């Protein structure tokens, strides 16, 4: 009995938390040796003082309500965070947990555990500041991209229209006609690029997620790609897809970009594209498997960068599609990557949050582009 009592005592004395016993008025009856580590006071300096004296002045009024609340219910436990003062005058954030054991004859006191959480609070504040900074820079970049894309449109239209007019009005030789044609083509390509930039800039990633039937998002994407699918005779198949949590318009866009790429970067074989879904904990991993030309391992990270293309002008594209997919998926807290080997097809994978079963009763949202 004595040895187990000694054991408990040594546990309390050596705990990294400060442990104390207080009476119904908040007077400190006992303070463990570890109070010196948390507050800088030796236990004998604290015994007899009121525990409220240690609370920072600005938090004191609020904390004075804790004791009556605790006294109201015997055996109840309360937890709170407050700034507490150390002997050297500095303050730290302390998480306190108190249990009302006044009705226990062997204790007859309130047991309080104080843990210094300043490092945790500072880390959380830093994380929030970083997230705010990132959100602000996202908005600035989007506004800038929007303004640039918008302002470049007008001069581009003028270049294209007046070049065409010149070709019609003047008697140009074949060589000059060809050069004028290049100018008009280049203006058209730049216009497509601006369309993608505008779409990217106005993608509204701050929208709140909702339950989305992934099956409907895929149906919308394949419907939008109907002509491209038909032209090359692509076979698109899918598992039964789940209800997820996200933005329907964005998910349609991700499917559309990935399936369109599977068609564009096809091999000599008929394109076969299969969409798989596999649940891993709270998220789903969605895979878009193709039998296309494949991607070399050293290029697999690069292709998600803005304006990165591995192919020339013989295949249409601006190198924005995958960057857009990454932006959408990551903004929703997911990941996107590709597994591939040249000549052996590619599997593009992305994760999306699983919808809570209760969400199934809400109307799923799907936007057809
Ligand atoms: P775009 O298709 O407009 O060039 P993306 O950002 O969609 O832009 O794709 C970037 C590059 O990644 C493409 O230019 C292509 O080289 C490569 N790529 C994308 N999807 C596939 C795929 N399914 N198979 C092979 N290569 C691909």
DSSP codes of every residue in 39-58: HS--HHHHTTSBGGGGB-HH
At residue 258, does pLDDT exceed 70? yes
* Residues 351 and 218 occupy one common structural domain: yes
DSSP secondary structure code for residue 209 in this structure: P
Same domain, 222 and 367: yes
Say whether pLDDT at 362 is over 60. Answer: no
> Which helix H or strand E contains 284, and what residues bound it?
strand 283-290
Q: Give the residue from 97, 116, 135 where a domain finishes.
A: 116
Q: Are strands 77-85 and 235-238 parallel, antiparallel or unpaired?
A: unpaired
Alpha-carbon separation of residue 218 from 129, 225, 327, 368 (angstroms)? 37, 11, 19, 10
Looking at 61, 87, 116, which one is the last position of a domain? 116
Q: Whose CA is nearest to atom 4 of ligand 1?
A: 319
Across the chain, what does the average pLDDT equal?
87
Looking at the fold, whether 102 and 125 belong to one and the same domain comes out as no
210: confidence class by pLDDT, cuts 50, 70, 90: confident
Measured from the CB, is residue 310 less than 6 Å from ligand 1? yes
Residues β-bridged to residue 69? none
Q: How confident is the model at residue 203 (pLDDT cuts 50, 70, 90)?
A: low
Residues 6+ apart with CB under 8 A from 239: 274, 275, 276, 277
CATH number, domain containing residue 264: 3.30.565.10
Q: Is 317 in the pocket of ligand 1 (CB under 6 A)?
A: yes
Where does a domain end: 65, 92, 116?
A: 116
> What's the pLDDT band for 137 if we cut at 50, 70, 90?
confident
Residue 265 and residue 151 share a domain:
no
| Model confidence pLDDT, tens digit, residues 50-71 | 999 999 999 998 888 999 999 9
Cα→Cα distances 204→91, 199, 200, 309, 348, Å: 42, 9, 9, 25, 24
What H or E segment, with its residue span, contains residue 206? none
Beta strands in 26-108 (DSSP E): 28-31, 77-85, 91-101
pLDDT band at 208 (very low <50, low <70, confident <90, very high): low
Ligand 1 centre to CA of 211 (Å) is 29
Q: Which domain holds residue 165?
A: 119-202
More confident residue, 49 or 364: 49
**Which secondary-structure segment (H or E) carries 33?**
none
**Ligand 1: distance of its center to the CA of 238 in Å?**
21
Total domain count, the chain: 3
Claim to verify: residue 110 and residue 156 sit in the same structural domain: no
**CATH assignment at residue 56:** 3.30.450.20
216 and 365 belong to one structural domain: yes
Phi, psi of 96 (to 5 degrees): -115, 140
173 and 275 together in one domain: no
pLDDT of residue 356: 61
Q: In this structure, are 181 and 221 located in the same domain?
A: no
* Owner of token pair 């008697």: 171
pLDDT of residue 229: 95
Rounded to the nearest angstrom, the distance between the alpha carbon of 309 and the centre of ligand 1 is 6
Q: State the distance from the centre of ligand 1 to the C-alpha of 319, rounded, in angstroms.
A: 7
306 lines ligand 1 (CB under 6 A): no
Q: Among 302, 303, 307, say which to mutate for ligand 1: greatest number of ligand atoms within 8 Å of CB.
A: 303
Interatomic CA distance for residues 165 and 162, integer angstroms: 5
Q: What is the mean pLDDT of residues 109-125?
A: 91
Distance 265 CA to ligand 1 centre (A): 7
Distance CA 53, CA 158 (A): 75
305-321: b or e for each residue (b if 16 or more CB lie within 10 Å)? eeeebeeeeeeebbbbb
- How sure is the predictor about 314, in pLDDT bands with cuts at 50, 70 and 90? confident
Q: How many CB atoms lie within 10 A of CB 218?
A: 23
Q: Report the length, in residues, of the chain.
A: 369
Q: How many whole angstroms from 154 Cα to the centroid of ligand 1?
A: 29
Question: Which residue has the least CA distance to atom 14 on ligand 1?
Answer: 309
Structure tokens at 277: 């879904």
Question: Whose alpha carbon is nearest atom 20 of ligand 1?
Answer: 261
């Amino acid at each position: 009995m004595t040895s187990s009592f000694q054991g408990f005592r040594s546990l309390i004395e050596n705990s990294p938390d400060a442990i104390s016993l207080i009476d119904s008025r908040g007077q400190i009856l006992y303070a463990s040796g570890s109070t010196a580590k948390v507050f800088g006071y030796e236990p004998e300096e604290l015994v007899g003082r009121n525990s409220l004296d240690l609370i920072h002045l600005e938090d004191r009024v609020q904390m004075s309500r804790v004791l009556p609340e605790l006294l109201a219910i015997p055996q109840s436990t309360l937890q709170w965070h407050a700034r507490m003062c150390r002997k050297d005058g500095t303050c730290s954030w302390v998480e306190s947990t108190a249990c009302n054991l006044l009705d226990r004859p062997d204790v007859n006191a309130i047991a309080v555990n104080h843990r210094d959480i300043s490092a945790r609070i500072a880390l959380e504040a830093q994380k929030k500041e970083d997230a705010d900074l990132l959100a602000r820079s996202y908005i600035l970049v989007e506004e800038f991209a929007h303004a640039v894309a918008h302002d470049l449109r007008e001069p581009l239209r003028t270049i294209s229209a007046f070049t065409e007019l010149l070709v019609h009005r003047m008697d140009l030789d074949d060589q000059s006609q060809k050069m004028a044609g290049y100018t008009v083509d280049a203006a058209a390509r730049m216009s497509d690029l601006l369309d993608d930039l505008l779409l990217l800039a106005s993608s509204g990633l701050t929208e709140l997620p909702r339950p989305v039937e992934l099956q409907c998002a895929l149906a919308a994407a394949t419907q939008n790609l109907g002509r491209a699918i038909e032209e090359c005779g692509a076979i698109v198949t899918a598992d039964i897809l789940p209800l997820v949590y996200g933005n329907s318009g964005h998910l349609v866009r991700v499917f559309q970009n990935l399936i369109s790429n599977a068609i564009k970067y096809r091999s000599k074989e008929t394109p076969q594209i299969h969409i798989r879904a596999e649940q891993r904990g709270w998220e789903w991993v969605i895979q878009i498997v193709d039998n296309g030309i494949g991607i070399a391992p050293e290029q697999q990270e690069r292709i998600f960068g803005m304006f990165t293309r591995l192919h020339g002008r013989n295949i249409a594209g601006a190198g924005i599609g995958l960057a857009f997919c990454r932006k959408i998926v990551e903004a929703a807290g997911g990941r996107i990557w590709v597994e591939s080997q040249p000549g052996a097809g590619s599997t593009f994978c992305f994760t999306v949050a699983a919808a809570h079963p209760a969400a199934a009763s809400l109307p799923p949202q799907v936007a057809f582009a």
